[in-house]
């Protein structure tokens, strides 16, 4: 039996003590749900990781402040349809005002509210819609509202993305539930407080803010930071982790309990990261790029990300074209240091390149490997212990259509 059990139909509200709602405030012309609220019935410890984009959105700037300041968090409000990015001091004031409105309606301090936004960049937030969203979302809060919240944060996503797991820690059942959105503008580089993808994670484990921070960032580095749809980092990438302690299972850094919790948290985050790539705008392929035996980890990162973000590679995957010349070209310009004569490449387990040249596998066999919905490209440099992997999607006609029409 697996130590970590997935909860059927899991979401943020699979975690005891968390409520959520998803409503229509009017941000989307379609009339689809566009405002989500997650609420902890008791004050929760929390942490977050955020985009490293210099043009960070106003909600990111505000939430970073809250993470640095510390304290507790009770609510996380998310709107879909306006990014509140590149909106200057007014945008930051509007983000603060959103927290004040939420706090007043929930009967909690504004400092205990975090906000996130996704949508069009450079447009001031219509605060009347924030007011409307909160007026609808607060009374709609429910212990079964997680799926509604996951739907409300979608933009170009075709399906909501939510998951929850249960694990026994110290003899006590601990739940971790989460939701995310993201299908385009996906190539996160999340950092500690220092897609758009937005993610809310809830748990009933007991842990202080510093412990949560020590667990969240490494998990982000091995999940959301390992995915790419189009190589474009968002201004708004945000992951917030809240822990209300209701289970009574205490997590202390450096203990076996903390390691088990980290394992469960990573499983949640990788499940959502994978779902984002599978639902990438116009995506028809899920491609894992593995780099092995590089001279260093840094070389492996450069090489894997170059292949994952190569437009020529991504369009070849869409066309079921095994053109390995595009892969070696991406490796060659990646900046990674390696000896081409030692490079071997495989599609799944089928040899493509051997010692820097054609491995001699008939092309029709290679076509069979790349025709699948999922496949793995392994690049073995044969020189050291450095390794890295990335999850990527292909680039289709539909991606261009979606993004050509998005603004208008």
Residues with Cβ within 8 Å of 259's Cβ and at least 6 positions away in sequence, in order, are none
> Which domain range does residue 143 map to?
4-278
Query: What pLDDT shows up at residue 247?
Result: 98
Please tell me the least confidently modeled range out of 8-17, 92-101, 219-228: 219-228
pTM over 0.85: yes
Give CA 139 to chain center in angstroms.
28
Q: 323 and 260 share a domain?
A: no
- Of 244, 278, 312, which residue is a domain's last? 278
Query: What pLDDT shows up at residue 375?
Result: 98
- Kindly state the percentage of the chain with pLDDT values over 90: 86
318 pLDDT above the threshold of 90: yes
Which residues are tagged catalytic? 196
Residues with Cβ within 8 Å of 202's Cβ and at least 6 positions away in sequence, in order, are 12, 13, 15, 18, 38, 40, 44, 176, 177, 178, 241, 242, 243, 244
CA-derived radius of gyration, the chain: 22
Q: 195 and 331 share a domain?
A: no
Q: 307 and 244 share a domain?
A: no
Give CA 144 to chain center in angstroms.
23
pLDDT bin (cut points 50, 70, 90) of residue 187 is low
Q: 268 and 319 share a domain?
A: no
For range 113-128, the mean pLDDT: 95
Q: 180 and 135 share a domain?
A: yes
Q: 118 and 265 share a domain?
A: yes
CATH, residue 373? 3.10.20.340
pLDDT bin (cut points 50, 70, 90) of residue 53 is confident
pLDDT bin (cut points 50, 70, 90) of residue 191 is low
400 pLDDT above the threshold of 90: no
- Of 235, 250, 278, which residue is a domain's last? 278
Q: 271 and 297 share a domain?
A: no
406 pLDDT above the threshold of 60: no
Which tens digit of pLDDT belongs to each residue from 133-158?
999 999 999 999 999 999 999 988 88
pLDDT bin (cut points 50, 70, 90) of residue 408 is very low
Q: 51 and 129 share a domain?
A: yes
Q: Which two tokens stand for residue 312?
A: 């020529």
Q: 342 and 214 share a domain?
A: no
pLDDT bin (cut points 50, 70, 90) of residue 195 is very low
61 pLDDT above the threshold of 70: yes
CATH, residue 163? 3.60.70.12
Instruction: Supply angle C-alpha 157, 28, 113, rounded to 5.
Output: 85
Query: What pLDDT shows up at residue 41?
Result: 98
The count of domains in the chain is 2
Which tens digit of pLDDT belongs to each residue from 263-289?
999 999 999 999 999 987 788 999 999
Q: 240 and 257 share a domain?
A: yes
Q: 369 and 222 share a domain?
A: no
CA distances from 355 to 235, 291, 292, 341, 358 (A): 41, 15, 14, 5, 8
Which tens digit of pLDDT belongs to each residue from 205-261?
999 999 999 999 999 999 999 998 877 678 889 999 999 999 999 999 999 999 999
186 pLDDT above the threshold of 80: no
Tell me the CB-side half-sphere exposure of residue 136, using CA atoms within 13 A: 19
Q: 209 and 326 share a domain?
A: no
- Of 278, 297, 315, which residue is a domain's last? 278
Query: Can you tell me the distance from the alpha carbon of 398 to that of 385, in angstroms, rounded to the nearest whole number?
Result: 39
57 pLDDT above the threshold of 90: yes
């Amino acid at each position: 039996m697996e130590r970590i059990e997935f909860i059927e139909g899991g979401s943020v509200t699979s975690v005891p003590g968390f409520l959520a709602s998803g409503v229509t405030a009017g941000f989307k012309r379609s009339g689809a749900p566009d405002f989500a609220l997650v609420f902890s019935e008791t004050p929760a410890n929390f942490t977050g990781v955020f985009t490293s984009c210099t043009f960070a959105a106003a909600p990111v700037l505000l939430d970073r402040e809250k993470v640095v300041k510390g304290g507790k968090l009770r609510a996380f409000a998310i709107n879909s349809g306006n990014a509140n990015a590149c909106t200057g001091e007014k945008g930051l004031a509007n983000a603060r005002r959103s927290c004040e409105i939420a706090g007043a309606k929930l009967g909690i301090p504004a400092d205990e509210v975090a906000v996130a936004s996704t949508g069009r960049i450079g447009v001031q937030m219509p605060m009347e819609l924030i007011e409307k969203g909160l007026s609808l979302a607060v009374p709609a809060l429910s212990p079964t509202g997680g799926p509604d919240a996951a739907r409300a944060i979608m933009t170009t996503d075709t399906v909501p993305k939510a998951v929850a797991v249960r694990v026994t820690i110290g003899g006590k059942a601990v739940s971790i539930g989460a939701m995310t959105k993201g299908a385009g503008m996906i190539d996160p580089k999340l950092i500690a407080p220092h897609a758009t993808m937005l993610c809310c994670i809830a748990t009933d484990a007991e842990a202080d803010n510093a412990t949560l921070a020590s667990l969240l960032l490494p998990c982000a580095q091995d999940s959301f930071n390992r995915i790419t749809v189009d190589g474009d980092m968002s201004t708004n990438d945000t992951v917030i982790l809240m822990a209300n302690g209701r289970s009574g299972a205490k997590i202390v850094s450096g203990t076996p309990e903390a390691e088990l919790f980290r394992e469960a948290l990573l499983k949640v985050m990788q499940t959502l990261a994978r779902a984002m790539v599978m639902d990438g705008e116009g995506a028809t392929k899920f491609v894992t790029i593995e780099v092995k035996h590089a001279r260093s980890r840094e070389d492996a990162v450069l090489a894997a990300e170059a292949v994952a973000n190569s437009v020529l590679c991504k369009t070849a995957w869409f066309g079921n074209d095994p053109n390995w010349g595009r892969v070696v070209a991406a490796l060659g310009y990646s900046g990674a240091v390696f000896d081409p004569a030692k490079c071997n490449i495989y599609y799944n387990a089928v040899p493509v390149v051997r010692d820097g040249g054609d491995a001699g596998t008939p092309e029709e066999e290679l076509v069979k490997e790349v025709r699948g919905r999922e496949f793995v490209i392994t690049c073995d440099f044969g020189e050291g212990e450095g390794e890295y992997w990335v999850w990527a999607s292909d680039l289709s006609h539909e991606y261009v259509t979606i993004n050509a029409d998005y603004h208008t």
